[in-house]
């Protein structure tokens, strides 16, 4: 049995918030060890058995596979009769980004096959949230329900897939509740990675239900095949709670398995079967093995990225087609996850917003966070590029390699620190010429067996593989520059109720103080006061998070205050002496 599966292991936390024993010492690891730890953590997605622990189902458990079969059949029905029907994929943060990527990719596929485009995506906070973190709307169940209602006006059949890795987002709870009250139109599906028992029970503001209550109603309705819950446990995240990593990958795997099976049944007369689904899941496990077979090369990129960040340089991902979008997503998540500066890691995609194909169109007028085209990179970044910056190209043999070469030549004039992650299937016609353009190339060679299993899925495999590589690079680099203590990101932004609770837990974990003491210290840091007024103590969590959004280092400040009984001003100046949070926390641990 995995250590984290024991009932005594962090019993008050759901799986998605527990700390992973594999990465306990990630903050002291070498680049190669970091990649190996991430490889092991990601391998947990494919665990075959829950080792006799009835509490957990895994992705390969027969109940989970059977639910995937059932939902795939629903997809098939809708694809065969697309009039007045819709498949809506929805989530917050990373979950919404995965929803977007799949909905747009599959609509493109449908359009190219002269079929009606029946996919739609919803992300809390709208399209802005695809590129920046908009965590406040995640707490709003009514907004979730209203957005869903609007997206489905006039539809008679809607398959709604709501994703919340932690079974926690009120935005998604509101949507599922809306579906459950309108079952004549909606078939709701919930994807997440905790047992229903561990779903969030915190009361939601202005709302009669919490997440767990909705998840239980979903479970009830599953008995009549009117709703479905897909919630295998895939183990704790490598960086505690960072569901952009395993949560995002497992969501992508589950959704692609479901939707592809539905497509094959509708268009290739290949019936959805239990064994067919199992086989698809096995193929994704192969993608994991192939990607991580190059630990050394990946570790070298982690190291390069860390050196750039340490020297106050930057990391740039320049990707083609959806690999570019994967790069943009990974880069944008570093800001909320690691408190990174917006310039630290940035992504660009060939053809910018026309490649994104998002609902709200070109967002570049919204500001620098929304500048994503290669052309923008050439105009605004290239002139100032230096050897302190690491540039990583992301492409496959299906991309226009001449275009790749031209851009590589331009970049080389500014820096030799140019690398590539390249996906090859049949092999390039002139591999040496491509290789010579970069300092290093991490070539991922794909066996034809995967292609034969599903030519349609190759692009999705490459996306997942690229996601794993980039998650390793950006996480590893931030770990190496000291942003993480053990496997906790302590300096987290407290921008919604989930993150507020996580912050309190981290304070409890490291100070041994009571929940009430930790909450008080956190609030003092948020409001920047020594003494909380009655109004501050009695106001709701949403208000706290709105204020916290404007402040930096609230959790480290609260931690120092709790640990050393210092005032806020003293705690701040204590922290000022440390540029590395890990060092500050470690020193603070020694204070008592
Ligand atoms: C949604 C989410 C995460 C993000 C952060 C805040 O989580 O936006 O994607 O990384 O942790 O929450 P979930 O609803 O999928 O659990």
- DSSP 8-state assignment for residue 21: G
Atom index in ligand 1 nearest the CA of residue 96 equals: 9
Q: What is the pLDDT of residue 52?
A: 64
Q: How far is the CA of 573 from the centre of ligand 1 (A)?
A: 32
The arithmetic mean of pLDDT across residues 196-208, rounded, is 92
- DSSP 8-state assignment for residue 214: H
Q: What is the pLDDT of residue 557?
A: 93
Atom index in ligand 1 nearest the CA of residue 138 equals: 8
Q: How far is the CA of 138 from the centre of ligand 1 (A)?
A: 8
* Residue pLDDT, tens place only, 266-290: 999 999 999 999 999 999 999 999 9
d(CA 405, CA 57): 47
Atom index in ligand 1 nearest the CA of residue 333 equals: 10
Question: The complex's ipTM?
Answer: 0.95
Selection from 254, 282, 256, 94 nearest residue 190 by Cα: 254
Q: How far is the CA of 513 from the centre of ligand 1 (A)?
A: 27
Q: How far is the CA of 164 from the centre of ligand 1 (A)?
A: 7
Mutate to test the pocket of ligand 1, among 93, 545, 548 (most ligand atoms within 8 A of CB): 93
Q: How far is the CA of 270 from the centre of ligand 1 (A)?
A: 35
Q: How far is the CA of 262 from the centre of ligand 1 (A)?
A: 27
Atom index in ligand 1 nearest the CA of residue 247 equals: 15
Residue 162 has pLDDT above 90, yes or no: yes
Q: Could you tell me the CA-to-CA distances from 191 to 19, 68, 407 in Å, in that order?
A: 21, 11, 40
* Residue pLDDT, tens place only, 343-356: 999 999 999 999 99
Q: How far is the CA of 409 from the centre of ligand 1 (A)?
A: 38
Q: How far is the CA of 133 from the centre of ligand 1 (A)?
A: 10
Q: Strand, helix or coil at 395?
A: strand
* Residue pLDDT, tens place only, 383-441: 999 999 999 999 999 899 999 999 999 999 999 999 999 999 877 667 778 889 999 99
Residue with the smallest CA separation from ligand 1 atom 4 is 93
Atom index in ligand 1 nearest the CA of residue 163 equals: 15
Mutate to test the pocket of ligand 1, among 166, 471, 474, 548 (most ligand atoms within 8 A of CB): 166
d(CA 519, CA 529): 14
The arithmetic mean of pLDDT across residues 309-317, rounded, is 97
Residue with the smallest CA separation from ligand 1 atom 13 is 164
Terminal CA-to-CA distance of the chain, rounded, Å? 36
Ligand 1-lining residues (CB < 6 angstroms): 91-95, 135, 138, 163-166, 168-169, 243-244, 247, 498
Q: What is the pLDDT of residue 7?
A: 87
Atom index in ligand 1 nearest the CA of residue 16 equals: 16
Give the phi and the psi of residue 91 in degrees, each rounded to 5. -175, 180
- DSSP 8-state assignment for residue 19: P
Residue 456 has pLDDT above 90, yes or no: no
Residue with the smallest CA separation from ligand 1 atom 14 is 164
* Residue pLDDT, tens place only, 41-78: 999 999 987 666 778 999 999 999 999 999 999 999 99
- pTM for this model (two decimals): 0.95
Selection from 582, 471, 340, 482 nearest residue 38 by Cα: 471
């Amino acid at each position: 049995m995995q250590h984290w599966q024991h009932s005594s292991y962090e019993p008050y936390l759901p799986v998605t918030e527990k700390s992973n024993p594999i990465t306990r010492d990630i903050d002291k690891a070498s680049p190669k060890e970091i990649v190996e730890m991430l490889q092991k953590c990601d391998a947990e997605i494919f665990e075959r058995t829950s080792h006799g622990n009835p509490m957990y189902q895994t992705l390969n458990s027969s109940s989970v596979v059977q639910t995937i079969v059932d939902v795939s059949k629903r997809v098939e029905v809708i694809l065969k009769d697309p009039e007045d029907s819709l498949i809506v994929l929805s989530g917050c943060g990373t979950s919404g980004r995965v929803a977007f990527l799949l909905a747009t990719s599959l609509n493109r596929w449908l359009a190219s096959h002269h079929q009606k485009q029946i996919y739609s995506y919803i992300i809390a906070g709208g399209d802005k949230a695809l590129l920046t973190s908009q965590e406040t709307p995640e707490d709003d169940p009514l907004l979730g329900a209203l957005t869903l209602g609007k997206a489905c006006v006039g539809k008679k059949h809607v398959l709604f897939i709501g994703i919340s890795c932690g079974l926690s987002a009120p935005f998604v709870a509101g949507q599922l509740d809306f579906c459950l009250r309108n079952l004549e139109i909606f078939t709701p599906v919930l994807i997440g990675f905790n047992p229903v028992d561990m779903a969030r029970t915190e009361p939601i503001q202005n709302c009669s239900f919490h997440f767990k209550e909705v998840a239980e109603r979903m479970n009830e309705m599953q008995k009549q095949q009117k709703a479905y819950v897909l919630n295998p446990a895939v183990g704790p995240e490598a960086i505690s709670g960072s569901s952009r990593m395993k949560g995002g990958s497992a969501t992508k795997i589950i959704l692609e398995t479901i939707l592809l099976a539905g497509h094959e049944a509708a268009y290739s007369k290949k019936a959805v079967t239990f064994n067919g689904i199992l086989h698809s899941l096995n193929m994704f496990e192969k993608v994991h093995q192939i990607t991580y077979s190059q630990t050394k090369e990946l570790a070298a990129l982690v190291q390069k990225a860390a050196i750039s960040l340490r020297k106050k340089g930057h990391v740039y991902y320049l990707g083609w087609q959806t690999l570019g979008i994967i790069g943009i997503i990974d880069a944008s998540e570093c800001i909320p996850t690691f408190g990174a500066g917006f310039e630290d890691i940035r992504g660009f995609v060939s053809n910018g917003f026309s490649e994104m194909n998002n609902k709200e169109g070109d967002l570049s007028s919204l500001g620098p966070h929304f500048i994503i085209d290669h052309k923008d990179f050439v105009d605004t970044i290239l002139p100032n590029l230096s050897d302190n910056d690491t540039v990583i190209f992301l492409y496959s043999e299906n991309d226009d390699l001449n275009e790749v070469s031209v851009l590589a030549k331009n970049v080389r004039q500014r820096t030799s620190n140019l690398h590539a992650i390249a996906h090859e299937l049949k092999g390039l016609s002139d591999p040496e010429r491509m290789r010579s353009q970069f300092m290093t190339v991490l070539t991922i060679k794909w066996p034809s067996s995967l292609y034969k299993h599903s030519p349609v899925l190759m692009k999705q495999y490459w996306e997942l593989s690229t996601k794993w590589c980039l998650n390793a690079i950006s996480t590893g680099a931030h770990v190496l520059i000291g942003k993480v203590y053990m496997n906790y990101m302590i300096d987290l932004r407290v921008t919604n109720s989930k993150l507020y609770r996580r912050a309190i837990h981290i304070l409890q974990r490291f100070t041994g103080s009571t929940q009430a003491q930790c909450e008080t210290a956190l609030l003092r840091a948020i409001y920047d006061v020594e003494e909380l007024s009655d109004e501050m103590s009695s106001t709701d969590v949403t208000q706290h998070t709105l204020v916290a959004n404007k402040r930096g280092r609230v959790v480290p400040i609260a931690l120092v205050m709790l640990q050393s009984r210092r005032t806020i001003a003293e705690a701040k100046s204590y922290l000022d002496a440390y540029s590395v949070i890990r060092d500050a926390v470690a020193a603070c641990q020694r204070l008592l």
